[in-house]
Amino acid sequence: MADGLVIVGGSYAAAQIAAAARQAGYAEPIRMFSAEDVLPYQRPPLSKAFLTGNGEDKTLPLRADSFYRDQNIDVELNAPVAAIDRAARRIVLESGKTVAYDKLALAVGARPRPLELPGAGLEGVFALRTLADARRIKESLAAASNVVVIGGGFIGLEVASAAAKLGKQVTVLEAQERLLGRACPPVIADWIAKLHAGHGVAIRCSARIASLEGPGRVRAVKLADGSEIPAEVVIVGIGVLPNVELAQAAGLACDNGIVVDRFARTSDPDIVAAGDCTRFPSPYAEAPVRLESVQNATDQSRSAVAAILGQEMPHENVPWFWSDQYDMKLQMTGLSQGHDVHAVRGSMDEGRFSVFYFKRGALIGTDSINRPADHMLSRRLVAARAKVSPSQAEDASFDLKSLMPV
Protein backbone atom coordinates (compact mmCIF):
# COMPACT_ATOMS: atom_id res chain seq x y z
CA MET A 1 0.00 0.00 0.00
CA ALA A 2 1.24 3.50 -0.83
CA ASP A 3 2.25 5.77 2.03
CA GLY A 4 0.58 8.70 0.31
CA LEU A 5 0.65 12.35 1.34
CA VAL A 6 1.52 13.51 4.83
CA ILE A 7 0.70 17.10 5.80
CA VAL A 8 2.43 18.67 8.79
CA GLY A 9 0.41 21.47 10.35
CA GLY A 10 -3.19 22.42 11.03
CA SER A 11 -3.13 25.76 9.23
CA TYR A 12 -5.26 27.23 6.46
CA ALA A 13 -2.65 25.98 3.98
CA ALA A 14 -2.80 22.48 5.46
CA ALA A 15 -6.56 22.27 5.03
CA GLN A 16 -6.35 23.69 1.53
CA ILE A 17 -3.67 21.22 0.44
CA ALA A 18 -5.75 18.29 1.69
CA ALA A 19 -8.94 19.50 0.01
CA ALA A 20 -7.25 20.51 -3.25
CA ALA A 21 -5.44 17.18 -3.48
CA ARG A 22 -8.70 15.25 -3.29
CA GLN A 23 -10.36 17.65 -5.71
CA ALA A 24 -7.51 17.08 -8.15
CA GLY A 25 -8.05 13.33 -8.00
CA TYR A 26 -5.30 12.31 -5.60
CA ALA A 27 -6.45 8.86 -4.46
CA GLU A 28 -3.67 7.82 -2.11
CA PRO A 29 -3.91 8.18 1.69
CA ILE A 30 -3.81 11.71 3.09
CA ARG A 31 -2.83 12.21 6.72
CA MET A 32 -2.63 15.53 8.51
CA PHE A 33 -0.87 16.09 11.83
CA SER A 34 -1.70 19.20 13.83
CA ALA A 35 -0.25 20.33 17.15
CA GLU A 36 -3.56 22.06 17.98
CA ASP A 37 -6.60 20.40 19.50
CA VAL A 38 -9.12 21.67 16.92
CA LEU A 39 -9.59 21.20 13.19
CA PRO A 40 -8.17 23.91 10.89
CA TYR A 41 -10.05 27.18 11.30
CA GLN A 42 -10.18 30.76 10.06
CA ARG A 43 -7.59 32.91 11.80
CA PRO A 44 -8.41 36.46 10.56
CA PRO A 45 -11.57 36.79 12.72
CA LEU A 46 -9.60 36.05 15.89
CA SER A 47 -8.30 39.63 16.12
CA LYS A 48 -11.59 41.15 15.01
CA ALA A 49 -15.20 40.01 15.43
CA PHE A 50 -14.35 37.02 17.61
CA LEU A 51 -13.16 39.30 20.42
CA THR A 52 -16.31 41.43 20.40
CA GLY A 53 -18.88 38.72 19.64
CA ASN A 54 -21.14 36.91 22.05
CA GLY A 55 -20.11 33.30 22.61
CA GLU A 56 -18.01 31.10 20.34
CA ASP A 57 -18.04 31.82 16.62
CA LYS A 58 -19.37 28.66 14.99
CA THR A 59 -18.26 29.83 11.53
CA LEU A 60 -14.57 29.53 12.38
CA PRO A 61 -13.91 25.93 11.19
CA LEU A 62 -12.75 25.85 7.58
CA ARG A 63 -14.35 22.46 7.03
CA ALA A 64 -16.67 20.35 9.14
CA ASP A 65 -15.30 17.13 10.56
CA SER A 66 -17.64 15.30 8.18
CA PHE A 67 -15.70 16.71 5.23
CA TYR A 68 -12.49 15.03 6.36
CA ARG A 69 -14.32 11.75 6.96
CA ASP A 70 -16.11 11.86 3.62
CA GLN A 71 -12.89 12.68 1.76
CA ASN A 72 -10.95 9.99 3.62
CA ILE A 73 -8.52 12.53 5.09
CA ASP A 74 -7.12 11.32 8.38
CA VAL A 75 -6.57 14.26 10.78
CA GLU A 76 -4.65 13.66 13.99
CA LEU A 77 -4.92 16.47 16.55
CA ASN A 78 -2.62 17.14 19.50
CA ALA A 79 0.08 15.55 17.38
CA PRO A 80 3.13 17.81 17.16
CA VAL A 81 5.86 16.60 14.82
CA ALA A 82 9.39 16.39 16.22
CA ALA A 83 11.48 15.52 13.16
CA ILE A 84 11.58 14.74 9.47
CA ASP A 85 13.69 11.76 8.42
CA ARG A 86 14.21 12.44 4.74
CA ALA A 87 16.40 9.39 4.15
CA ALA A 88 13.73 7.04 5.50
CA ARG A 89 10.91 9.22 4.08
CA ARG A 90 9.06 9.47 7.35
CA ILE A 91 8.13 11.93 10.08
CA VAL A 92 8.62 11.38 13.78
CA LEU A 93 5.97 12.67 16.16
CA GLU A 94 6.81 13.96 19.63
CA SER A 95 5.01 10.87 20.94
CA GLY A 96 7.65 8.73 19.24
CA LYS A 97 5.28 7.46 16.56
CA THR A 98 6.71 7.36 13.03
CA VAL A 99 4.68 7.88 9.85
CA ALA A 100 6.01 7.11 6.37
CA TYR A 101 5.26 9.29 3.37
CA ASP A 102 5.57 9.34 -0.40
CA LYS A 103 5.07 13.10 -0.50
CA LEU A 104 5.33 15.53 2.39
CA ALA A 105 3.70 18.96 2.68
CA LEU A 106 4.85 21.46 5.28
CA ALA A 107 2.14 23.93 6.29
CA VAL A 108 3.57 24.81 9.68
CA GLY A 109 2.78 28.53 9.72
CA ALA A 110 4.43 31.02 12.04
CA ARG A 111 4.47 31.96 15.71
CA PRO A 112 4.39 35.31 17.50
CA ARG A 113 7.72 37.02 17.98
CA PRO A 114 8.36 36.95 21.74
CA LEU A 115 8.57 40.12 23.81
CA GLU A 116 11.99 40.10 25.47
CA LEU A 117 11.41 42.46 28.37
CA PRO A 118 11.23 42.07 32.16
CA GLY A 119 7.68 41.08 33.11
CA ALA A 120 6.78 39.59 29.73
CA GLY A 121 5.75 36.38 31.49
CA LEU A 122 3.25 38.01 33.83
CA GLU A 123 -0.35 36.85 33.86
CA GLY A 124 -2.47 39.03 31.62
CA VAL A 125 0.19 39.37 28.90
CA PHE A 126 -0.84 37.71 25.65
CA ALA A 127 0.18 37.15 22.07
CA LEU A 128 -2.49 36.31 19.52
CA ARG A 129 -2.06 33.54 16.99
CA THR A 130 -4.34 30.62 17.82
CA LEU A 131 -7.96 30.07 18.78
CA ALA A 132 -6.77 29.19 22.29
CA ASP A 133 -4.98 32.56 22.46
CA ALA A 134 -8.11 34.39 21.33
CA ARG A 135 -10.26 32.64 23.90
CA ARG A 136 -7.92 33.66 26.72
CA ILE A 137 -7.74 37.25 25.50
CA LYS A 138 -11.51 37.50 25.14
CA GLU A 139 -12.03 36.24 28.69
CA SER A 140 -9.45 38.65 30.11
CA LEU A 141 -10.82 41.64 28.20
CA ALA A 142 -14.20 41.15 29.81
CA ALA A 143 -12.75 41.98 33.24
CA ALA A 144 -10.28 44.69 32.14
CA SER A 145 -10.59 48.47 32.07
CA ASN A 146 -7.16 49.38 30.70
CA VAL A 147 -5.56 47.62 27.73
CA VAL A 148 -2.11 48.22 26.30
CA VAL A 149 -1.23 46.94 22.84
CA ILE A 150 2.48 46.62 22.11
CA GLY A 151 3.01 46.88 18.38
CA GLY A 152 1.31 49.06 15.79
CA GLY A 153 0.93 46.50 13.01
CA PHE A 154 -2.30 45.00 11.75
CA ILE A 155 -2.79 42.48 14.56
CA GLY A 156 -2.17 45.13 17.20
CA LEU A 157 -4.47 47.68 15.60
CA GLU A 158 -7.25 45.17 15.01
CA VAL A 159 -7.12 44.11 18.66
CA ALA A 160 -7.02 47.78 19.70
CA SER A 161 -10.13 48.39 17.61
CA ALA A 162 -11.93 45.44 19.21
CA ALA A 163 -10.95 46.51 22.73
CA ALA A 164 -12.06 50.10 22.09
CA LYS A 165 -15.41 48.85 20.80
CA LEU A 166 -15.77 46.97 24.08
CA GLY A 167 -15.39 50.27 25.93
CA LYS A 168 -11.84 49.76 27.19
CA GLN A 169 -9.23 52.48 27.59
CA VAL A 170 -6.67 51.47 24.98
CA THR A 171 -3.08 52.58 24.44
CA VAL A 172 -0.99 51.44 21.47
CA LEU A 173 2.79 51.54 21.88
CA GLU A 174 4.84 51.39 18.69
CA ALA A 175 8.64 51.37 18.70
CA GLN A 176 8.93 52.90 15.22
CA GLU A 177 8.18 56.49 14.24
CA ARG A 178 4.77 55.59 12.82
CA LEU A 179 2.21 52.82 12.67
CA LEU A 180 2.27 50.05 10.06
CA GLY A 181 5.88 50.70 9.15
CA ARG A 182 6.31 47.47 7.18
CA ALA A 183 2.77 47.12 5.89
CA CYS A 184 1.54 50.47 4.56
CA PRO A 185 2.95 53.75 3.26
CA PRO A 186 2.55 56.85 5.47
CA VAL A 187 -0.48 58.17 3.57
CA ILE A 188 -2.53 55.17 4.78
CA ALA A 189 -0.84 54.72 8.15
CA ASP A 190 -1.42 58.34 9.14
CA TRP A 191 -5.10 58.14 8.18
CA ILE A 192 -5.51 54.97 10.27
CA ALA A 193 -3.78 56.64 13.22
CA LYS A 194 -6.35 59.44 13.09
CA LEU A 195 -9.14 56.85 12.87
CA HIS A 196 -7.98 55.25 16.12
CA ALA A 197 -7.50 58.59 17.82
CA GLY A 198 -11.08 59.45 16.89
CA HIS A 199 -12.22 56.35 18.79
CA GLY A 200 -10.32 57.34 21.91
CA VAL A 201 -7.26 55.14 21.42
CA ALA A 202 -4.00 56.71 22.64
CA ILE A 203 -1.16 56.06 20.20
CA ARG A 204 2.46 56.52 21.18
CA CYS A 205 5.08 56.05 18.50
CA SER A 206 8.83 55.89 19.10
CA ALA A 207 7.86 54.31 22.40
CA ARG A 208 10.60 52.75 24.50
CA ILE A 209 9.35 50.17 27.00
CA ALA A 210 11.45 49.34 30.05
CA SER A 211 9.35 46.59 31.63
CA LEU A 212 5.94 45.19 32.41
CA GLU A 213 5.08 45.62 36.06
CA GLY A 214 3.40 43.12 38.36
CA PRO A 215 3.68 41.32 40.65
CA GLY A 216 1.97 38.14 39.50
CA ARG A 217 -0.46 39.80 37.13
CA VAL A 218 0.40 42.74 34.94
CA ARG A 219 -0.73 46.09 36.34
CA ALA A 220 1.21 48.57 34.20
CA VAL A 221 3.65 49.05 31.35
CA LYS A 222 6.69 51.06 32.41
CA LEU A 223 8.36 53.25 29.80
CA ALA A 224 12.03 54.15 29.57
CA ASP A 225 11.31 57.64 30.91
CA GLY A 226 9.94 56.11 34.12
CA SER A 227 6.26 56.79 33.41
CA GLU A 228 3.71 54.00 33.71
CA ILE A 229 0.58 53.17 31.73
CA PRO A 230 -2.06 51.20 33.67
CA ALA A 231 -2.92 47.84 32.12
CA GLU A 232 -4.85 44.79 33.26
CA VAL A 233 -4.33 43.25 29.81
CA VAL A 234 -1.32 43.62 27.51
CA ILE A 235 -1.45 42.32 23.94
CA VAL A 236 1.89 41.81 22.20
CA GLY A 237 1.78 42.13 18.41
CA ILE A 238 5.37 42.67 17.27
CA GLY A 239 5.40 40.35 14.29
CA VAL A 240 5.85 36.64 13.75
CA LEU A 241 8.63 34.16 13.14
CA PRO A 242 8.21 31.44 10.50
CA ASN A 243 8.31 27.93 11.89
CA VAL A 244 11.36 26.65 10.04
CA GLU A 245 12.92 24.47 12.73
CA LEU A 246 11.65 21.14 11.38
CA ALA A 247 12.73 21.98 7.85
CA GLN A 248 16.07 23.36 8.96
CA ALA A 249 16.90 20.31 11.06
CA ALA A 250 16.04 18.12 8.06
CA GLY A 251 18.52 20.01 5.90
CA LEU A 252 16.00 21.91 3.76
CA ALA A 253 16.99 25.35 2.53
CA CYS A 254 15.65 28.09 4.83
CA ASP A 255 16.05 31.86 4.77
CA ASN A 256 13.45 33.81 6.77
CA GLY A 257 11.11 31.00 5.87
CA ILE A 258 11.26 27.63 4.15
CA VAL A 259 12.68 28.39 0.72
CA VAL A 260 10.44 27.22 -2.11
CA ASP A 261 10.36 27.88 -5.83
CA ARG A 262 7.39 29.32 -7.69
CA PHE A 263 5.87 25.83 -7.79
CA ALA A 264 5.97 25.50 -3.95
CA ARG A 265 8.75 22.92 -4.10
CA THR A 266 11.42 22.87 -1.41
CA SER A 267 15.03 21.80 -1.96
CA ASP A 268 13.78 18.20 -1.60
CA PRO A 269 11.73 17.11 -4.66
CA ASP A 270 9.37 15.07 -2.47
CA ILE A 271 8.60 17.90 -0.06
CA VAL A 272 6.44 20.96 -0.74
CA ALA A 273 5.58 23.84 1.57
CA ALA A 274 2.91 26.54 1.59
CA GLY A 275 1.62 29.44 3.64
CA ASP A 276 3.14 31.79 6.19
CA CYS A 277 6.18 29.57 6.69
CA THR A 278 7.50 29.94 3.13
CA ARG A 279 9.73 32.40 1.28
CA PHE A 280 9.32 32.39 -2.47
CA PRO A 281 9.97 34.35 -5.68
CA SER A 282 7.14 36.64 -6.80
CA PRO A 283 6.78 38.54 -10.06
CA TYR A 284 5.50 41.43 -7.92
CA ALA A 285 8.66 41.75 -5.83
CA GLU A 286 12.31 42.29 -6.68
CA ALA A 287 13.45 39.67 -4.15
CA PRO A 288 11.88 36.55 -2.64
CA VAL A 289 9.13 37.36 -0.14
CA ARG A 290 7.29 35.80 2.77
CA LEU A 291 3.61 36.76 2.84
CA GLU A 292 1.19 36.26 5.72
CA SER A 293 -2.26 36.08 4.17
CA VAL A 294 -5.14 33.72 3.48
CA GLN A 295 -4.85 34.48 -0.23
CA ASN A 296 -1.21 33.46 -0.33
CA ALA A 297 -1.89 30.25 1.60
CA THR A 298 -4.76 29.35 -0.73
CA ASP A 299 -2.98 30.04 -4.01
CA GLN A 300 0.35 28.56 -2.98
CA SER A 301 -1.40 25.41 -1.75
CA ARG A 302 -2.80 24.83 -5.22
CA SER A 303 0.72 25.04 -6.63
CA ALA A 304 1.89 22.61 -3.96
CA VAL A 305 -0.79 20.09 -4.89
CA ALA A 306 0.14 20.37 -8.57
CA ALA A 307 3.75 19.62 -7.63
CA ILE A 308 2.63 16.60 -5.59
CA LEU A 309 0.87 15.32 -8.73
CA GLY A 310 3.99 15.85 -10.83
CA GLN A 311 2.65 18.97 -12.54
CA GLU A 312 3.78 22.59 -12.56
CA MET A 313 1.38 25.37 -11.63
CA PRO A 314 3.31 28.56 -10.86
CA HIS A 315 2.27 30.60 -7.84
CA GLU A 316 2.17 34.01 -9.50
CA ASN A 317 -1.11 35.55 -8.35
CA VAL A 318 -1.30 39.20 -7.35
CA PRO A 319 -0.94 39.38 -3.55
CA TRP A 320 -3.88 40.87 -1.69
CA PHE A 321 -4.71 41.42 1.97
CA TRP A 322 -7.37 43.02 4.15
CA SER A 323 -7.92 44.47 7.60
CA ASP A 324 -11.14 45.40 9.43
CA GLN A 325 -10.97 48.09 12.13
CA TYR A 326 -14.15 49.75 13.47
CA ASP A 327 -16.33 50.34 10.39
CA MET A 328 -13.29 50.60 8.13
CA LYS A 329 -12.34 47.89 5.65
CA LEU A 330 -8.86 48.24 4.22
CA GLN A 331 -8.16 46.10 1.17
CA MET A 332 -4.64 45.97 -0.23
CA THR A 333 -3.51 44.88 -3.67
CA GLY A 334 0.07 44.15 -4.72
CA LEU A 335 3.23 45.13 -2.88
CA SER A 336 3.68 48.89 -2.61
CA GLN A 337 7.19 48.93 -1.12
CA GLY A 338 9.56 51.07 -3.13
CA HIS A 339 6.88 53.11 -4.90
CA ASP A 340 7.94 56.55 -6.08
CA VAL A 341 4.54 58.16 -6.81
CA HIS A 342 1.08 57.75 -5.36
CA ALA A 343 -2.34 59.05 -6.40
CA VAL A 344 -5.49 59.31 -4.28
CA ARG A 345 -8.90 58.51 -5.74
CA GLY A 346 -11.99 59.37 -3.72
CA SER A 347 -12.37 61.31 -0.48
CA MET A 348 -10.05 60.82 2.46
CA ASP A 349 -12.24 63.14 4.53
CA GLU A 350 -15.28 60.93 3.94
CA GLY A 351 -13.31 57.74 4.59
CA ARG A 352 -13.90 56.28 1.13
CA PHE A 353 -10.80 56.41 -1.01
CA SER A 354 -8.06 54.41 -2.71
CA VAL A 355 -4.35 55.11 -2.99
CA PHE A 356 -2.68 53.90 -6.19
CA TYR A 357 1.07 53.28 -6.05
CA PHE A 358 3.45 53.59 -8.98
CA LYS A 359 7.06 52.63 -9.47
CA ARG A 360 8.97 53.85 -12.52
CA GLY A 361 5.63 54.65 -14.15
CA ALA A 362 4.02 51.24 -13.56
CA LEU A 363 1.09 50.55 -11.24
CA ILE A 364 2.35 48.15 -8.53
CA GLY A 365 -0.43 48.23 -5.95
CA THR A 366 -3.34 49.94 -4.26
CA ASP A 367 -4.76 50.40 -0.78
CA SER A 368 -8.53 50.86 -0.75
CA ILE A 369 -10.49 52.05 2.26
CA ASN A 370 -14.24 51.35 2.06
CA ARG A 371 -14.07 51.18 -1.76
CA PRO A 372 -14.33 47.45 -2.56
CA ALA A 373 -14.97 48.04 -6.27
CA ASP A 374 -11.62 49.84 -6.56
CA HIS A 375 -9.93 46.90 -4.86
CA MET A 376 -11.43 44.30 -7.19
CA LEU A 377 -10.56 46.35 -10.25
CA SER A 378 -7.04 47.09 -9.07
CA ARG A 379 -6.33 43.38 -8.69
CA ARG A 380 -7.16 42.98 -12.37
CA LEU A 381 -5.20 46.07 -13.40
CA VAL A 382 -2.04 45.00 -11.55
CA ALA A 383 -2.25 41.43 -12.85
CA ALA A 384 -2.73 42.64 -16.43
CA ARG A 385 0.16 45.13 -16.15
CA ALA A 386 -2.37 47.70 -17.37
CA LYS A 387 -1.02 51.10 -18.42
CA VAL A 388 -2.43 53.39 -15.75
CA SER A 389 -1.15 56.90 -15.08
CA PRO A 390 -1.35 58.74 -11.74
CA SER A 391 -3.56 61.41 -13.30
CA GLN A 392 -6.01 58.76 -14.53
CA ALA A 393 -6.02 57.05 -11.14
CA GLU A 394 -6.90 60.21 -9.22
CA ASP A 395 -9.56 61.37 -11.69
CA ALA A 396 -12.81 59.92 -10.31
CA SER A 397 -14.56 60.60 -13.63
CA PHE A 398 -12.10 58.47 -15.59
CA ASP A 399 -13.20 54.88 -16.25
CA LEU A 400 -10.24 52.75 -15.18
CA LYS A 401 -11.92 49.67 -16.63
CA SER A 402 -11.25 51.08 -20.07
CA LEU A 403 -7.54 50.45 -19.49
CA MET A 404 -7.94 46.71 -19.18
CA PRO A 405 -6.40 44.85 -22.15
CA VAL A 406 -8.97 43.46 -24.55
> What would the pLDDT profile of 60-71 be if each residue is shown by its tens digit?
999 999 999 999
**CATH number of the domain where residue 130 is located:** 3.50.50.60
Per-residue pLDDT band at 56 (split at 50, 70, 90) = confident
Measured CA to CA, the distance from residue 373 to residue 399 in angstroms comes to 12
Q: Does residue 374 sit in the same domain as residue 393?
A: yes
Strand-by-strand arrangement of the 220-223 sheet: 209-213, 220-223, 228-230
pLDDT number for residue 395: 97
Q: Does residue 75 sit in the same domain as residue 119?
A: no
Which residues contact residue 66 at a Cβ distance below 8 angstroms, ignoring those fewer than 6 apart?
none
Q: Does residue 125 sit in the same domain as residue 219?
A: yes
pLDDT number for residue 57: 75
Q: Does residue 24 sit in the same domain as residue 102?
A: yes
Query: Containing H/E element for 221?
Result: strand 220-223
Buried b (16+ CB within 10 A) or exposed e, 347-385: eeeeeebbbbbbbeeebbbbbbbbbeebbebbbbbbbee
What digits encode the pLDDT tens for the residues 119-177?
999 999 999 999 999 999 999 999 999 999 999 999 999 999 999 999 999 999 999 99
Q: How far is CA 120 from CA 4, 14, 213, 343, 390, in A?
A: 43, 31, 9, 42, 46
For residue 319, tell me if it sits in a domain.
no
Q: Does residue 52 sit in the same domain as residue 190?
A: no
Domain boundary among the residues 189, 211, 236 is at 236
**CATH number of the domain where residue 340 is located:** 3.30.390.30
**Angle 131-142/154-165 helices, nearest 10 degrees?**
40
Q: Does residue 203 sit in the same domain as residue 271?
A: no
Tell which residue, 363, 360, 285, 370, has the closest CA to residue 325.
370
For residue 316, tell me if it sits in a domain.
no
Range of the domain at 141: 114-236
Q: At 216, is the secondary structure helix, strand, or coil?
A: coil
Return mean pLDDT, the chain.
Answer: 96
Q: Does residue 197 sit in the same domain as residue 148?
A: yes
For the chain, what is the domain count? 3
For residue 31, tell me if it sits in a domain.
yes
Q: Does residue 144 sit in the same domain as residue 256?
A: no
Q: Are 321 and 153 in contact (CB under 8 A)?
A: no
pTM score: 0.95
Q: Does residue 202 sit in the same domain as residue 121?
A: yes
Domain boundary among the residues 182, 214, 236 is at 236
Q: Does residue 9 sit in the same domain as residue 93?
A: yes
